[in-house]
Amino acid sequence: MSKYALKPDELNKEFEQKKPRILKGEFAGKDWWDLPVEFRDGNWCFPAKPEVLEEIGFPNPRKWAATDADWQLPKDWEKTIREGMKSRLKRFRSFKLFMDTCVRCGACADKCHFFLGTGDPKNMPVLRAELVRSVYRNDFTALAKLLKSFSGSRTLTVEVIKEWHMYFNQCTECRRCSVFCPMGIDTAEITMMVRELLNLIGVNNNWIMAPVANCNRTGNHLGIEPHTFEQNVMSLVDDIEELTGVTVNPTFNRKGAEILFITPSGDLFGDPGVYTMMGYLLLFHHIGLDYTISTYASEGGNFGMFTSNEMMKKLNAKMYHEAKRLGVKWILGGECGHMWRVVHQYMETMNGPADFLKEPVSPITGTKFTNAKSTRMVHIAEFTADLIKHGKLRLDPKRNDHLRTTFHDSCNVARGMGMFEEPRYVLNKVCNVFHEMPENTIREQTFCCGSGSGLNAEEFMDIRMRGGFPRANAVKYVKEKHKVDSLVTICAIDRASLPTLMKYWNPGVSVYGLHELVGNALVMEGEKKRTEDLRENPMAGFGEGDDDE
Partner 1 sequence: MKKVLIPFIMVMVLAIIPYAGITFGKLDYLFGVIIPYASVAILLLGFLYKLVDWLRRPVPFRIPTTCGQEKSLDWIKDNPLESPSNPFMAAVRVLSEVLLFRSLFRNTKAELHGGSKLAYGSHKWLWLGGLAFHWSLLIIVIRHARFFFDTLPAPIELIEAFDRFLDVTVPALYITDGIALAAVTFLVVRRIQDEKVRLISLATDYFPLFLIGTIAILGVSMRYVTKVDVMPIKALALGLASFSLDAPSPIGALFYVHLFLVCVLLCYIPFSKLMHMGGIFLSPTRNLPNDSRAKRHVNPWNPDIKFRTYAEYEDDYREKMKKAGIPVEKQ
Size of the site for partner 1 (CB under 8 A): 125
Segment contacting partner 1 by CB under 8 A, of 161-169, 202-210, 375-383, 487-495: 375-383
Per-residue mark of binding to partner 1, 465-484 (x: CB under 8 A): ----xx--xx--x-------
Count CB-CB contacts under 10 A for residue 531.
16
Segment contacting partner 1 by CB under 8 A, of 110-118, 157-165, 194-202, 393-401: 110-118
494 binds partner 1 (CB under 8 A): no
Segment contacting partner 1 by CB under 8 A, of 91-99, 160-168, 397-405, 523-531: 91-99
CA–CA separation, 369 and 377 (whole Å): 9
258 binds partner 1 (CB under 8 A): no
Instruction: Give the CB-side neighbour count of residue 221, counting CA atoms within 13 A.
Output: 25
Considering the complex, what minimum distance in angstroms separates the CB of residue 174 from partner 1? 11
User: Per CB under 8 A, which of residues 150..179 are in contact with partner 1?
Assistant: 150-152, 175, 178-179
CA–CA separation, 337 and 412 (whole Å): 5
Considering the complex, what minimum distance in angstroms separates the CB of residue 310 from partner 1? 6
* Closest-CA residue to 197 (of 144, 135, 153): 135
Determine which residue in the list 131, 315, 403, 442 makes contact with partner 1, applying CB under 8 A.
Answer: 315
CA–CA separation, 332 and 381 (whole Å): 10
Considering the complex, what minimum distance in angstroms separates the CB of residue 536 from partner 1? 27
Q: Which residue type is seen at 295? A: T
18 binds partner 1 (CB under 8 A): yes
138 binds partner 1 (CB under 8 A): no
CA–CA separation, 463 and 389 (whole Å): 42
299 binds partner 1 (CB under 8 A): no
Determine which residue in the list 382, 409, 462, 485 makes contact with partner 1, applying CB under 8 A.
Answer: 382
Considering the complex, what minimum distance in angstroms separates the CB of residue 288 from partner 1? 21
Using the minimum distance from each CB to partner 1, give the nearer residue, 86 or 529: 86
Determine which residue in the list 90, 145, 483, 529 makes contact with partner 1, applying CB under 8 A.
Answer: 90
* Closest-CA residue to 168 (of 178, 157, 160, 180): 160
E-strand spans in 204-339?
Answer: 259-262, 291-293, 330-333
Considering the complex, what minimum distance in angstroms separates the CB of residue 549 from partner 1? 31
Using the minimum distance from each CB to partner 1, give the nearer residue, 198 or 347: 347
User: Per CB under 8 A, which of residues 530..549 are in contact with partner 1?
Assistant: none
User: Per CB under 8 A, which of residues 400..459 are in contact with partner 1?
Assistant: 414-422, 425, 438, 440-441, 444-445
184 binds partner 1 (CB under 8 A): yes
Q: How far is CA 267 from the centre of its chain?
A: 13
Considering the complex, what minimum distance in angstroms separates the CB of residue 81 from partner 1? 19
Determine which residue in the list 206, 253, 302, 497 makes contact with partner 1, applying CB under 8 A.
Answer: 253
Using the minimum distance from each CB to partner 1, give the nearer residue, 45 or 108: 108
CA–CA separation, 286 and 302 (whole Å): 29
Count CB-CB contacts under 10 A for residue 23.
15
236 Cβ neighbours under 8 A, 6+ residues apart: 268, 274, 277, 278, 281
Considering the complex, what minimum distance in angstroms separates the CB of residue 382 from partner 1? 6
Considering the complex, what minimum distance in angstroms separates the CB of residue 539 from partner 1? 30
CB 179 within 8 A of CB 111: yes
Considering the complex, what minimum distance in angstroms separates the CB of residue 506 from partner 1? 12
389 binds partner 1 (CB under 8 A): yes
User: Per CB under 8 A, which of residues 328..367 are in contact with partner 1?
Assistant: 343-346, 348-350, 352-353, 367
Instruction: Give the CB-side neighbour count of residue 230, counting CA atoms within 13 A.
Output: 11
Using the minimum distance from each CB to partner 1, give the nearer residue, 88 or 530: 88
Determine which residue in the list 45, 66, 81, 109 makes contact with partner 1, applying CB under 8 A.
Answer: 109
Using the minimum distance from each CB to partner 1, give the nearer residue, 318 or 464: 318
DSSP conformation class of 460 = G
Using the minimum distance from each CB to partner 1, give the nearer residue, 32 or 46: 32
CA–CA separation, 114 and 226 (whole Å): 38
E-strand spans in 178-333?
Answer: 259-262, 291-293, 330-333
Considering the complex, what minimum distance in angstroms separates the CB of residue 315 from partner 1? 8
452 Cβ neighbours under 8 A, 6+ residues apart: 172, 173, 174, 337, 338, 411, 412, 493, 497
CA distances from 84 to 75, 77, 101 (A): 15, 10, 21
Determine which residue in the list 163, 173, 196, 230 makes contact with partner 1, applying CB under 8 A.
Answer: 230
DSSP conformation class of 407 = E
Considering the complex, what minimum distance in angstroms separates the CB of residue 458 from partner 1? 24
Considering the complex, what minimum distance in angstroms separates the CB of residue 327 from partner 1? 13
Q: What is the DSSP string of 308-349?
A: -HHHHHHHHHHHHHHHHHHT-SEEEE-S-SHHHHHIIIIIHH
Segment contacting partner 1 by CB under 8 A, of 93-101, 197-205, 485-493, 512-520: 93-101
Considering the complex, what minimum distance in angstroms separates the CB of residue 106 from partner 1? 4
429 Cβ neighbours under 8 A, 6+ residues apart: 388, 395, 397, 521
